[in-house]
Amino acid sequence: MKKIKMKKQPNKSFFNIILFSFFLFLLPTQLGKHFFPPFSYINGVRVDYLSPTIYLTDIIIFLLFLFNFKAVINFFKNKNVLLGLGLLLINSLLAKNQLTAFYQLIRIVEFLIVFSLGRQLFKIIKEKLLLIILLLTSSFQLILAALQLISKHSIQGIFYFFGERLFSLSTPGIAKAAFQGIEFLRPYGTFSHPNSLSGFFLLLYFFVLTNKKFNKHFVLKYSLLFILTGLVFISFSKAAILIFLILNTSYLILNTGIKCRICKITRIIVPLVVSLIFLQVTTDPLTIEKRLELIKNSFNILSNKAFFGVGLGNYLIAQAEYISKYPLFFNQPVHNIFLLFFSESGVIIGGIILLLIFTLIKRLIKVNSYIVLAVVLTGFFDHYWLTLEQNFLLLALVYGSVSSSFFISKFNLRSPLIPD
């Protein structure tokens, strides 16, 4: 009798790689379904930050969670994770708008799932494939951003299905810039703001730059770094460009692995020269006054709710009690992730959570200080690491991957800023 050959079933790793590849490619996009229940309105105006949204990336995360159920659940059994979530649950119960707080708590659970997945999935994906996916999605964003810059409006068409919003130079509140009297649109890509775009690709730049294992794929790595640099500059975010120059220069000076001195000097001088053009561009002339008003509001909120905060996601609801000179800008969180974090969580709960993750932060700084500094420094000037989907999930993914002991040994990361 002939033996019947059974077809080999695809294993779990194969499906993980496929789903993870799609997730990486779609991470900069924001295609999703927004819902606007009553609690997403402030004084009759609907606010995107308060809108519960189901993104395409959320669905992929859920599928990855199912395929890696045991590993994720084991991560959530950690006593620090459970204690932190318990404290945030108390914070949500004390919030003025509990529905908003519970929605934000769900997002934090998703953040932790992505963090745990980052610890697992980078073990199975090849470095070359990872670079190719990041190169494709970054090239896509650079092309779209360049088209928006040239045309002074959104492109739409197929880009709509990747989450590009409809806007033009005449749209109220749109991010503009001017150079030698010529006004132009700051490109958004598929992000909700150019600053969000710049921070996303700034973190991705230092993630790729500092991973030594990528060096064996020289052409792919430096092609990707070139495109990521272009995305940071084309955003015209002065904070991101200056932070890029500071961190990139320090890395090149302190990294003794680069033997070619001319190459090192060139890689320092060229971005400095190019930045002179981009930093001369004039953006919102009132940006400092607007940000100072938001900072003042955050201190007022903190003084009133110092111990337990206003509740997760309730910052804008609390801020609505204050009068603003800039109504189009007012429904914005304070542009500082630290003030925003403590305003919502309070000094007691926020302080305990920081103590719970102190060991992780210390480990991340020792292993790769650049990805920590990229977030900390930009976080002093904006809020997107806590409020916007793409930046929030990238933060979880990158920090999760670097926190993994496997990933640390695999890439042999060492920060020149922190001695062993």
What confidence tens digit (pLDDT) does each residue in 99-148 have?
999 999 999 999 999 999 998 888 889 999 999 999 999 999 999 999 99
Whether 324 is covered by a domain: the verdict is: yes
Residue-wise pLDDT tens digits, 53-73: 999 999 999 999 999 999 999
Q: Give me the phi and psi of 308, to 5 degrees please.
A: -120, 0
- Judge whether 414 lies within some domain: no
pLDDT at 406: 37
Q: What are the distances in angstroms from CA 335 to CA 23, 168, 373, 378?
A: 28, 24, 17, 10
Average pLDDT over residues 294-312: 92
The mean of the pLDDT values for the chain is 88
Q: Domain total for the chain?
A: 1
For residues 326-350, give the mean pLDDT: 89
Q: Which residues, at least 6 apart from 140, have a Cβ–Cβ distance to it below 8 Å?
A: 28, 162
Q: Name the nearest CA neighbour of 96 among 359, 305, 341, 369.
A: 305
What's at 285, amino acid-wise? P
Residue 5 lies in a domain: no
pLDDT for res 45 = 84
Q: Tell whether the model's pLDDT for residue 238 goes beyond 90.
A: yes
Residue 418 lies in a domain: no
What pairs with residue 178 in β-bridges?
183, 282
Residue 420: inside a domain: no
Predicted confidence band of residue 419 (pLDDT cuts 50, 70, 90): very low
- Would you place residue 181 in the very low, low, confident or very high pLDDT band (cuts 50, 70, 90)? confident
Q: Is residue 36 very low, low, confident or very high in pLDDT (cuts 50, 70, 90)?
A: very high
For the chain, percent of residues with pLDDT exceeding 70 = 92
416 is a domain residue: no
Q: What is the number of alpha carbons within 13 Å of residue 94 lying toward its C-beta?
A: 16
With beta carbons less than 8 A apart as the criterion, state whether 326 and 286 touch: yes
Task: Indicate the pLDDT class of residue 231, thresholds 50, 70 and 90.
Answer: very high
Is residue 2 domain-resident? no
Report yes or no: 197 and 241 within 8 Å, Cβ to Cβ.
Answer: no
Range of the domain at 116: 15-403
Record the pTM: 0.91
Assess contact for 268 and 253: CB atoms under 8 A.
Answer: yes
Is pLDDT at 318 greater than 80 in this prediction? yes
**pLDDT at residue 330, rounded to an integer:** 67
Q: What is the mean pLDDT of residues 67-93?
A: 95
382 is a domain residue? yes
Both tokens of residue 135?
A: 């190169």
Mean pLDDT over residues 203-214, rounded? 94
SS3 readout for the chain: CCCCCCCCCCCHHHHHHHHHHHHHHHCCCCCEEECCCHHHEECCEECHHHCCEEEHHHHHHHHHHHHCHHHHHHHHCCHHHHHHHHHHHHHHHCCCCHHHHHHHHHHHHHHHHHHHHHHHHCCCCCHHHHHHHHHHHHHHHHHHHHHHHHHCECCCHHHHHHCCCCCECCCCCCCEEEECCEEEECCCCCCCCHHHHHHHHHHHHHHHHCCHHHHHHHHHHHHHHHHHHHHHHHCCCHHHHHHHHHHHHHHHHHCCCCCCHHHHHHHHHHHHHHHHHHHCCECCCCHHHHHHHHHHHHHHHHHHCCCCCCCCCCHHHHHCCCCCCCHHHHCCCCCCHHHHHHHHHHHHHHHHHHHHCHHHHHHHHHHCHHHHHHHHHHHCCCCHHHHCHHHHHHHHHHHHHHHCHHHHHHHCCCCCCCCC
Residue type, 276: L
Q: Please tell me which residue, 287 or 242, carries the higher pLDDT value.
A: 242
